Amino acid sequence: MRHRGSRAGAFLLAAIVVALPYVPAEAAAGTVTEFSSSVPDSTPLGLTAGPSSSVWFAEHVQGLGRVDAAGKVKEFAVPANSQQHVAVPEGAATASDGTVWFTDASTAVPRVGKVNAGTGAVTTYEVPTTGDVSFAGGQLTDITAGPDGAMWFTGGPSSAVGRVTASGAVTAYATTGLSPYAITTGPDKALWFTDTSGGSIGRLDPATGDVTIYSPESSGSGNPAAGGITAGPDGAVWFTEPGVGKIGRIVPGNDAVTEYAVPTANSAPEGITAGPDGNLWFTEAAAGNIGRVVPASKKISEYPLPDALSAPMRIINGPGGALWFTEAGKGAIGRLNPSAPPSGSPHAAAPPIVDGISPRVAASFQGRCPTSAIICETQLTMGGSVKIGGFSQTMPAGALRVSGYVTSLGSGSAVLQPPLTGSQLESVPVEVPGGVIGTLPLIGPILGMTPAAMLPFNKLTITQSLAGPVTIGFGPGGLQATATLNIQLNNQLLGSTCVIGPITASLAPADLSGGSAHDPQLGWQPLSVEIKDDTLAVPKAHGCGLGGILDGVINSTMGLPSSSGNTLDLPAILSVGAGAHSN
């Protein structure tokens, strides 16, 4: 027999979070097909063509994902590092044996890893952070299959490029002050990489470790200075310059660097790849477009994706002769047929930070905040547990979302303003198993399983609303946020006024990654965080039934009021950036 406390657990679940429904699905928009990750906050970045016509992608705050040949999305967790920090998956590439490799961009414990494409088992290797050449202070952002059978990766601020063998042996190569970001094997079988700090292009000879540096005319004049890089179908190396809106080209053996301006201003060309049609294809991260360069004529064309704030990042020539790309701003993987690209005029870019040299790469949530907002945030809980009185409840993933913005912190704190569109607190009704009958003391768990419990008058759902403003600020521990909630119990017998609240909860997030690691090309910061509060005080329910006649039933079931011993521990995804809505 179930204890009646399980009913209280159901109440508790709704008291703190309301599940946001999600069914991984494929959504077609014209000639663009999109495959959604589990939550739009996952921030998919790197991707690679895997075995059996699959595509694998790295989620900055979730783990790894796979789109199989049937279009089904499945996600895989990456284990914590040796300091028990969560992974920050970034780049992805496939080895010659079909093994999928990825980088962990954690600045505390940089790692590379591989996943068994058949079982999903993940193996990681922490890279060296001591010695004359190492990855100390680095951030591993990209990885590629090298010409020697090994995998090669970039180390960012560590100024190193790495090589890892199938067994996990790592070698570091110095790049003399550069900040390597993206990497590819060139047509000359050397490793070519972009420098995100100054905009240079580097060439590393795998036989000697020697590095040659090429400086485009625009190098050093835009932020981000350089983005993706690929070997072209014309024997040249092609790369992007997001900060100044250009595509660059170098012919190995010829020191000349040529640049071509992208038609849409401030669009931040980011990822680039050689397509199956003999053309170069690239993403426009600040405008939600896909671009094409015809190598022979250097003509550039642009095609709109369904959403201007989808922030397309990396792009590959993938299964089925299609182009695949990550849409970091909406948590999706996109696919299009290069012979039938999307029609219509390209999107204009988001309002730039500085016109011509600093585009605004923004996620969809930032479009809900004005450009005057210095902080635009959305916070989504992803599981965890809550305890009230003597009852505990495990929480579902994708639960409570709070969004909003502030334009000034003033004395260090401010009221979080509701977003320009949608609700500040997003929720849907959650049905309580057993309904009202199931909440009755002693006999509820039994009667809640009978046919009588299925009658309409017994149905019980719970919704919640904000009982006061959400405050936000910065303290010694970082971002602080507090919300006051009312929980309403919805049932024919309880009436429309049965409320538990107000309940004040701290939503202050603690970073789980061990450092503020995020891709330097992104215009927002997605973080895996944990929300803890052991100071919850829960008042009595009131207004339940005619004249409050059923208040006692609810309070007895939940053990209300409860002034101490109540806790919440919720992992969450916190995404923070500036506003991107100009009107």
In a domain, 359, yes or no: no
- Is 344 a domain residue? no
Distances 533 to 55, 86, 155, 184, 511 between C-alpha atoms, Å: 39, 21, 37, 46, 15
Decide if 509 contacts 572 (C-beta within 8 A): yes
Is residue 318 located within the same domain as residue 439? no
pLDDT at 494: 86
pLDDT at 330 over 90: yes
Span 506-523, pLDDT tens digits: 888 889 988 767 788 999
The burial class, CB within 10 Å (0-12 / 13-18 / 19+), for 402 is buried
Which CATH number is 103's domain given?
2.130.10.10
Structural domain of 374: 364-577
| Residues 101 and 141 placed together within one structural domain of the fold | yes
| pLDDT value at residue 252 | 94
pLDDT reported for residue 256: 86
Q: Residue 438 falls within a domain, yes or no?
A: yes
- State the chain's mean pLDDT as an integer: 88
Task: Report phi then psi at 312, rounded to 5.
Answer: -65, 135
| Domain co-membership, 272 together with 404 | no
pLDDT of residue 439: 55
202, 270: one domain? yes
Given pLDDT bands bounded at 50, 70 and 90, which one contains residue 450?
low
Note the pLDDT of residue 310.
Answer: 97
3-state secondary structure of 223: coil
Contact 44, 324 (CB under 8 A): no
Residue 583 covered by a domain = no
Where does a domain end: 300, 318, 336? 336
Look at residue 23 in the predicted model and tell me its pLDDT. Answer: 30
Q: Quote the percentage of the chain above a pLDDT of 90.
A: 70
- So what's the pLDDT on residue 388? 72
Q: What pLDDT score was predicted for residue 360?
A: 96
Domain identity same for 289 and 198: yes
Please report, rounded to a whole number, the percentage of residues in the chain having pLDDT higher than 70: 89
pLDDT score of 10 more than 50: no
Q: Would you call 60 a catalytic residue per the annotation?
A: no
Here the tokens at position 360 are 């605004």
Listed range (37-41, 400-404, 444-448) with the worst mean pLDDT: 444-448
What's the average model confidence in pLDDT over 228-234? 97
Report yes or no on 281 lying in a domain: yes
C-alpha distance from residue 367 to each of 291, 307, 360, 578 (Å): 23, 11, 11, 9
Number of domains the chain contains: 2
Q: Is 7 a domain residue?
A: no
Residue of 3, 60, 85, 347 marked active site? 347
Instruction: Quote the pLDDT of residue 329.
Output: 97
Phi, psi of 256 (to 5 degrees): -70, 135
Report which listed range, 23-32, 78-87, 478-487, is most confident.
78-87
Q: What is the pLDDT of residues 166-210, one digit of tens each?
A: 999 999 999 988 999 999 999 999 999 999 989 999 999 999 999
For residue 240, name the pLDDT band (cuts at 50, 70, 90): very high
Residue 218 and residue 271 in one domain = yes
Whether 178 and 297 share a structural domain? yes
Question: What confidence tier does 42 reach under pLDDT thresholds 50, 70, 90?
Answer: very high
428 within some domain? yes
Phi and psi (nearest 5°) for 517? Answer: -80, 125
DSSP letter at 108? S
Please give the pLDDT value at position 448.
54
Instruction: Please report the pLDDT score of residue 460 as a whole number.
Output: 77
Structure token digits, residue 267: 């669009």
Asked if residue 167 and residue 115 are part of one domain, the reply reads yes
Of residues 397 and 342, more confidence is placed in: 342
pLDDT value of position 21: 30
pLDDT at 353: 93
pTM for the full model? 0.89
Domain boundary among 288, 320, 336: 336
> Looking at the domain assignment, is residue 17 inside a domain?
no
Rounded-to-integer distance, Cα 94 and Cα 104, Å: 15
Token look-up 């006649």 returns 549
Of the three residues 320, 336, 352, the one that is the final residue of a domain is: 336
Q: Are residues 164 and 65 in the same domain?
A: yes
Q: How far apart are CA 261 and CA 411, in angstroms?
A: 44
310 and 376 co-located in one domain? no
373 and 327 co-located in one domain: no
Decide if pLDDT at 271 tops 50.
yes
Same domain, 500 and 370: yes
